Amino acid sequence: MKKTLKYTIQSIIIGVVSVLLFNLVGQFIHISIPFNLLSIGLIGFFRLPGFIVLLIVLLL
């Protein structure tokens, strides 16, 4: 139980920080990821593959 809660909180923090950092850098090339639960969850739980899938979906 404690391990699952720790992983979930860590994933949420990684998702939030990733979206915020990408939006900070992406403003110079006019690309941004929406800051919502879906994008944070996708990036947080799937890490890099989730980030890549989200970028592909946004750019198409």
Cα–Cα dist 30/47, whole Å: 23
For residue 43, the tally of other CB atoms under 10 A from its CB is 27
Q: What pLDDT does 1 receive?
A: 83
How is residue 8 annotated by DSSP?
H
The tokens describing 13, both together, are 């923090």
For each of the chain's 60 residues, which pLDDT tens digit applies? Answer: 889 999 999 999 999 999 999 999 999 999 888 999 999 988 988 989 999 999 999 888
Q: Label residue 12 exposed, middle or buried (CB < 10 Å: 0-12, 13-18, 19+).
A: middle
Report, in this order, helix, strand and coil percent for the chain, each rounded to 5.
80, 0, 20
